[in-house]
A and B are shown apart, each in its own frame.
Chain A
Amino acid sequence: MKILVCVSKTPDTTAKIAFTDNNTKFDNNGVQWIINPYDEWYALVRAIELKEADPSSVIHLVTVGTADADPIIRKALALGGDEAIRVNADSQDSYYVAAQIAQVARDGGYDLLLAGKETIDFNGASIGGMLAELLDLPYVALAARLDLAGNKATIVREIEGGEETVEAELPLVISCQKGMAEQRIPNMRGIMAARTKPLKVVEPVAADTLTSIAAFGLPPAKAGVKLVSPDNVEELVRLLHEEAKSI
């Protein structure tokens, strides 16, 4: 079993969101970078669990990014995984990124390709689907569970108001979310081992960009909270009904 896990670098969940250069760039100042939580906690950890169940498995990680993604990749390798591939490119366009990962996937011949549900910065939720289409593979999005038996995958995926269980044969692309696995913390042995695991840097292939970001912005600040006394809940009901018109 050969597994490819897509790993991206995102600002820490508590990072202050601000923009520079006339609101065209994210303000990196003082920002801590982490592995995108969906990639780390769910996609990568589930891949590691699958390898634990079948030690003949191989896990490769892929990141499209510049050298400043290397610390994140090392951290991912410390959790588990055998080697990493970094496509040396900087792009905010999902299609361009997916095209790079598709090339890595073709070269590697993987049975299972795992992505996170979405990146917590750009919230595209797009790379998995694009990758599946570029490789002409089935795609199960928003998976909360994945089990393998030989060549067959059983997946629980989110639907509105519940979940459904589907079955598909490998090779397959899956986007992972909560429920897939439990968060792990890298141990000392993992951290030491990660230092010597291969991190290959490859140059990007030619690919189109379909979109670009013209500007960022922040939502208008809230006017401030209107407090109502706990002894006067009727007033809250009145406000919600007459002022906010939400009940």
Chain B
Amino acid sequence: MPVLIFIDSAEGHVKKASLEALTYGADLATQLGTHAEGIVLGNMTEDISALGKYGVKKIHQVADASLDQFDSQTYCAIIAEAVKATGSDLLVLSNNVHGKAIAPRLSARLKAGLVAGAVAMADTSNGFIVKKSVFSGKAFAQVSIQTAIKIIAINPNSYKTVANEGTAELVPFAVTIPASKIKLLQVNKASGEVPLTEAEIVVSAGRGMKGPENWGMVEELAKTLHAATACSRPVADAHWRPHNEHVGQTGIAIAPNLYIAIGISGAIQHLAGVNRSKVIVVINKDAEAPFFKAADYGIVGDAFEVVPKLTEAIKKMKAS
């Protein structure tokens, strides 16, 4: 019985988070002595068979234009059919925006135990146990799945993508596509920028920046690092920055490889959204700022002096 991986895409492109899900699913299949297959919905502009390098042998595709728009209800119905058709008892997907809408639906439809927000490979030595993040990254839980069919939704940036050689066989999946009850009216996407939840590096700033007019240096640093920008809650509340940049307990939770926090005190609710970052750098003029306790590297200093210098130093390093 293969492990089935849902490959999420936007505008015909596979999302980075899905490459993580593919690697996870392929590794899990190896662990269980089986193989991995994928399913992709909608029309794709990139060559899907190339995803074979992440370990999938076969990819089922429903290349129907109606699926270019996302609807959890139709997606769930089709993926459930694919689970049945492939005889798969393990479904892996990213716990990203679409994953959060589909995985619970599939869980209810297939009566399949779901671990939403997995952060490590399943332990299949005794039962089936998956580690997930809880309490907004402040703790984890080992969750045991008791059902025959199991679903794992892995948190973005928590499993390392590995690419080897290989191409996947692309097979059309014949299925009746239910009519969607959701109509897409408009997409608003900041083009050219790195989406916050997919960014490897995030440069974030808080009330220490004094006002929106000072964000130029933050953006410059982010640009130099090909990073996404983020902010603390009061900054978004004061409309200094758009609300979709707000990270933390009540904002977006992220887990980049590097998080640079500038002029942010490090309140517990802020940390809840960023504490899964692999490396944290804090720049704050107050040596007592709580953020330093959660940091790996820090500079006690004035952001207005440190940030431009840091940008220059990075440019120099990249040029050398």
- A residues touching B (Cβ–Cβ < 8 Å)? 11, 13-14, 17, 19, 37-38, 41, 94-95, 98, 120-134, 137-142, 144, 154, 157-169, 178-179, 208-219, 222-223, 225-230, 233-234, 236-241, 244, 246-247
Interface residues of B in 48-101 (CB under 8 A from A): 71-73, 76, 95-97, 100-101
Contact of A129 among B101, B112, B275 (CB under 8 A): B101
| Contacting pair A230 B181 (CB below 8 A) | no
A37 to B198, CA, bound (A): 25
Residue among A11, A94, A213, A246 with most chain B CB within 10 A: A246
Chain B residues with CB under 8 Å of A214's CB are 129, 141-144
Asked if B299 and A230 make an inter-chain contact with CB atoms under 8 angstroms apart, the answer reads yes
What are the 9 A-B residue pairs with the smallest beta carbon separation, nearest first? A230-B301, A161-B195, A129-B104, A162-B189, A210-B113, A141-B101, A133-B108, A126-B104, A246-B258
Instruction: Let me know if B301 and A98 touch, CB within 8 A.
Output: no
Is chain A's interface secondary structure helix, strand, loop, or mixed overall? Answer: mixed
Q: Determine if B145 and A164 form an interchain contact, defined as CB atoms under 8 angstroms apart.
A: no
- B10 contacts A159, CB within 8 Å? yes
A interface footprint on B177-205 (CB within 8 Å = 1, 0 otherwise): 00001111111111001111110010000
A145 vs B96: C-alpha distance when bound (angstroms): 19
Q: Which residues of A contact B319 (CB under 8 A)?
A: none
**Residue pair A161, B196 in contact (C-beta under 8 Å):** yes
Most A Cβ at <10 Å: residue of B100, B115, B196, B309: B100
Min CB gap B99→A, angstroms = 9
Contact across chains for A142 and B100 when beta carbons are under 8 A apart: yes
The 8 A CB mask of B299-314 against A (1 = contact, 0 = none) is 1111001100110011
Interface centre among B105, B196, B275, B309 (most CB of A within 10 A): B105
Q: Are A225 and B297 in contact (CB under 8 A)?
A: yes
In the bound complex, residues from chain B placing their C-beta under 8 Å from that of A215 are: 141-142
Task: List A contacts of B185 (CB < 8 A).
Answer: 154, 164-167
B194 → chain A closest CB, angstroms: 8
Complex: A139 Cα to B114 Cα, angstroms: 18
Docked complex Cα distance between A163 and B196 (Å)? 12
Assuming A141-B97, A154-B185, A210-B145, is B105 touching A129 (CB within 8 A)?
yes
Give the most central of B101, B183, B193: most A CB within 10 Å: B101
Q: What are 6 pairs between A and B in contact, CB < 8 Å?
A: A123-B136, A163-B188, A165-B187, A212-B143, A214-B129, A219-B139
Most buried by A among B133, B137, B243: B243
From known contacts A161-B196, A166-B185, A211-B143, infer whether A233 and B10 are also in contact, taking CB-CB under 8 Å. no
Q: A227-B297, A244-B258 are in contact. List 7 more A-B contacts (CB 8 A).
A: A126-B107, A133-B109, A138-B72, A216-B141, A236-B281, A246-B201, A246-B257
CB < 8 Å neighbour of A37 from B73, B115, B249: B249
Q: How many residues from B make CB contacts under 8 Å with A? A: 96
Give bound CA distance, A219 to B95, whole Å: 20
- Interface pair B108/A134, CB less than 8 Å apart: yes
- Is residue B147 contacting chain A, with contact meaning CB distance below 8 A? yes
B111 interface residue per 8 A CB criterion: yes
The answer to whether A133 touches B190 (Cβ under 8 A) is no
Q: Given A210-B107, A214-B144, A225-B296, are A233 and B309 neighbors across the interface (CB < 8 Å)? A: yes
Write out the residue numbers on chain A whose beta carbons fall within 8 Å of the beta carbon of B251: 178
At the interface with chain A, which of B25-33, B36-44, B211-219, B287-295?
B287-295
Considering the complex, give the chain A residue whose CB is closest to the CB of B291: A225
Among A17, A162, A163, A212, find the residue whose CB has the most chain B CB atoms closer than 10 A. Answer: A162
- Which residue of chain A lies nearest to B267 when distances are taken between CB atoms in the complex? A14
Nearest B-chain residue to A237, judged by Cβ: B313
Measuring CB to CB, which residues of chain B are less than 8 angstroms from any residue of chain A? 10, 15, 71-73, 76, 95-97, 100-109, 111-117, 129, 132-147, 181-190, 193-198, 201, 225, 243-244, 246, 249-251, 257-258, 268-269, 272, 275, 278-279, 281-282, 292-302, 305-306, 309-310, 313-314, 316-317
Closest CB-CB distance, B268 to chain A, in whole Å?
Answer: 5
- B113 contacts A211, C-beta separation under 8 Å: yes
Instruction: Report how far A215 CA is from B131 CA in the complex, Å.
Output: 9
Q: Could you tell me if B117 and A130 are in contact, using CB atoms closer than 8 angstroms? A: no
| Complex alpha-carbon distance, A159 and B188, angstroms | 9
**Is there contact, CB below 8 Å, between B313 and A234?**
yes
* A133 and B299 contact, Cβ closer than 8 Å, known pairs A167-B185, A240-B279, A246-B258: no
In the assembled complex, the Cα of A157 lies from the Cα of B106 at a distance in Å of 20
Contacts of A144 in B (CB 8 A): 243-244
Residues of B within 8 A of A244 (CB): 258, 279, 296-297
Q: In the complex, what distance in Å separates the CA atom of A131 from the CA atom of B107?
A: 11
A161, chain B: closest CB distance, angstroms: 3
Known: A139-B105, A208-B111. A165 touches B313 (CB 8 A): no
Q: A41-B250, A211-B146, A213-B144 are in contact. Are A120 and B136 (CB under 8 A)?
A: yes
